[in-house]
Amino acid sequence: MRRQLAIHIALLLGSALPILASAQSLPAETADSRQSQAIGAMPLTEALDVLARRSGLQLVYQSEVASTVRSNGAAAGLSARQQLHLLLKGTGLDYRFVTPTTVTIVAAHAAGNAPAASARAPRSIPPIEAAANVPHDLAPVSVSANAVDTLAPSAAPLDAIQPTSVIDERFIRDGLRFNANFDDIIKYAPSVTVTSPEGPGLGKNEGISIRGFQDGQFNITFDGIPFGDASDLHHTTSAYFNNHVLGQAEIDRGPGGGSTIGNATFGGTVGLRSRDPSSVPGVTAYLTLGSWNTRAGGVSADGQLGAHTQVFADVSKESSDTYLNGTDDQRNHIFLKTITDLGADTALTFVTSYNEEHQNTVQGATKQEIAQFGWRYGLSDNPALQSYSGYNNAAYYSSFNYLGLTSRIGDWSVDNKVYYNSFDHWSRKTTDASDNNSADNGVTFYNAAGKKVGKAANDVPGKLADAGFHAFGDVLRLSRDLGPGTLQAGAWLERNIDARYQYPLDLTTGQQTGTKYGYLDNYLFGDRTDTVQPYLQYDWKVSDRITVSPGLRYSEVTRSINAAINKTTPVPLDAEATYHSTLPSLSVHDQLSDQWAAYAQAAKGFLAPPIDVIETNASRGLKPEQTTNYQLGTSFASRSFTFGADVYYIDFTNYLTETQVATTEGNELTYINGGGAIYQGAEVEGTYALNHEWSLYGNASYNEATYKHSSVQVAATPKVTAALGLLYSGESGYFGSLMGKFIGKQYGLDNTTDANGDTVFANGQRLGGYVAVDAALGFRSEHGGVSNKGYSISVDVNNLFNVHKLTGYAGTQSVSGNALYFGLPGRGVFLDLSMKL
């Protein structure tokens, strides 16, 4: 990971100031162009943002600047370069042009091509590398951005050491509906496949795939902190953050270096970054009305607490029937972030987020049900059937909280975050929510000895369950200049405490039925996961162009379970298993020119088996998954064109895959060792600015993931994905986009169980390719509205051409064995309104 950068993009909002050369050779008209307005004294980050908006420069700087440095301002009538010099005067900072469109704020001694600042750098500001090709540490999200003038969904940054796509705040704000989730934000990026059958930002996402790696096989972080379900590392996307509170998202399609912490980094990292408070106070109210009876609203506010604390807060509420009938989604979200300047050496960040969601959950639909009831079929309104919406309810409660401290101790930069996050999933559902056959009903009652004491042949069988975890952890990152490079060191520590239970119900009467084993519960257990990951990395500046970064990370994961009633076999279980691995990495970055860079990377990866393995096999669990990743790539950025391309090869051993086994309780999933798999492919993406208002974006990916010694494609891995978009961002305030995403054919199954109970690897449940097109059109004004402080209005259309295709395989019905599927949600139209008060 790279040093904590915050990249603020200046796109032309008024009269453009073209930047057509590097700092060493700026054209006279650029250097002499005069800025007609002065910039007042304010926090340096705000002053730089003002200059960026007026000049068209893209500025790159560390987020510590936001809370520790103030600028004395700059007079009107000066060139952009002169104003930038004055803004930095007395701060110990200077600037350096690293591309014709990008300026890096650096320590004064490192500038090299600009007048030296008049004061030494404050000790509170960690040193900033002198060039963009140096891998940066301390990064919760290595934030880089699109150099093209106009709107774009993602871009490959020049300083990347692995295939990377960055989605900045402008696209999150202007290209998506207000209440989008992070799966909606990343869905246009290369090699990404998203299955959201209930509509954009609605209901529960049913799958995210990156290069064929499924949710749980790649890393997701929020402000640099890994998070996910305690038992299997999955993520319920609608249960955490919506786009109101996100400032940027970065997709690293690789394992990163030694400093890249997380459980499953070999599959990549989706890095989410929270919005920073603005020093310009204001309150903004927003409202969404749309298809499927969708209604949402909220208020966000930026302000100041005392002289040293900036605050950003957001409260929102949403309800929707969603695309699928009977699902009835309700969501509430609260978010608060403060940044406090504690003095010359220290900045303190506090974040707390709470989210709750209630919905009726679907299990998928058979092809016969889709043919009979239509594509919107989800749940029924018949209480005599297992598919009745009133029997299939779920609630998700989550919180995410951290206290972050950045400081300087001697030569060391320090970034430490202590955190607590929690997730609780309560559910009441039938045995099979897709079952419309009343003949499959029937509830048997048992006494404490496990003896049958009665049967209600027409009652609906079901179960009530609750699963909740609490994660406590700390992420420590240290950095210092050492010799011809930068040394990084740190550690991630986490304890995750999990508790789960489930008991059978007669849903017609609400009575507990007991079990044939004599217990009231099907299972009742607690488990714990302890993770320790220390790391070292050295970024060796071999020359002005080349940086070599060897790294070493050690990962140890201990899983333990204490079950009064085990999940797979209803007996007590007390077991523990520890998995560990040493993970070396090596990356080379070559800044070929101001506009062109290349990189190569090799790294080991590791993922501990989920808790299900211990439940099934006790401490004799399956071996952990291991990978060896190799990647080559390049990136290019000019004012009118950004481009990134890469090839990759991943050798995956001890691949754990799920298979269905028929039992007396119906079809159940269990884990087996699939041996190994090879992931290989190529990816390319680019944005071309047709002019200062229009841009053309496209990407294409070829992803082959096959089990070793066979041609069997890993399930849920489309070999080909692509995106194409036309985007508009006008100087008059209008904006819009037309984005299409192609997903190639894939398979829902890669293994089956034969008549002898043996696992046979073969592809099944083919899903054809499809194209979905989304559109957005809006207008934003800095004036007008009730308060004359500005407003925005936009219309977002999901699946513009109302395409209907199967997009995901959802298993089988427990009685019939018929295949279940999820489909592409039909056309949805949403009106977003916001007004600054």
Give per-residue pLDDT as tens, 598-632.
Answer: 999 999 998 888 877 777 654 455 678 889 999 99
The whole-number average pLDDT for the span 371-376 is 95
> Considering the chain, what is the average pLDDT of its residues?
83
Give per-residue pLDDT as tens, 498-507.
Answer: 999 999 999 9
Let me know how many helices (H) and strands (E) the chain has, helices first.
8, 47
Question: CA 393, CA 459: separation in Å to the nearest integer?
Answer: 18
Query: Shortest CA distance to 165 belongs to which of 823, 596, 539, 685?
Result: 685
Give per-residue pLDDT as tens, 710-726.
Answer: 899 999 999 999 999 99
Report pLDDT for 747: 94
- Dihedral angle at the C-alpha atoms of 16, 19, 20, 23, nearest 10 degrees? 170
Query: Shortest CA distance to 681 belongs to which of 700, 699, 702?
Result: 702
85 is written with which tokens? 């010099």
Report pLDDT for 676: 86
> Residue 644's pLDDT band (boundaries 50, 70, 90)?
very high
The number of C-alpha atoms within 13 Å of 389 and in the hemisphere containing its C-beta is 15
Report pLDDT for 45: 75
* pLDDT higher than 80, residue 97: no
Strand 58-62 with 5-8, pairing? antiparallel
Lowest-confidence segment of 191-200, 565-574, 769-778, 817-826 by average pLDDT: 565-574
Give per-residue pLDDT as tens, 554-588.
Answer: 999 999 999 999 887 788 888 888 999 999 999 99
Report pLDDT for 307: 87
Question: CA 702, CA 807: separation in Å to the nearest integer?
Answer: 18
Question: CA 455, CA 444: separation in Å to the nearest integer?
Answer: 4
The whole-number average pLDDT for the span 513-542 is 94
Query: Shortest CA distance to 314 belongs to which of 302, 329, 296, 306?
Result: 302
Whole-model pTM? 0.82
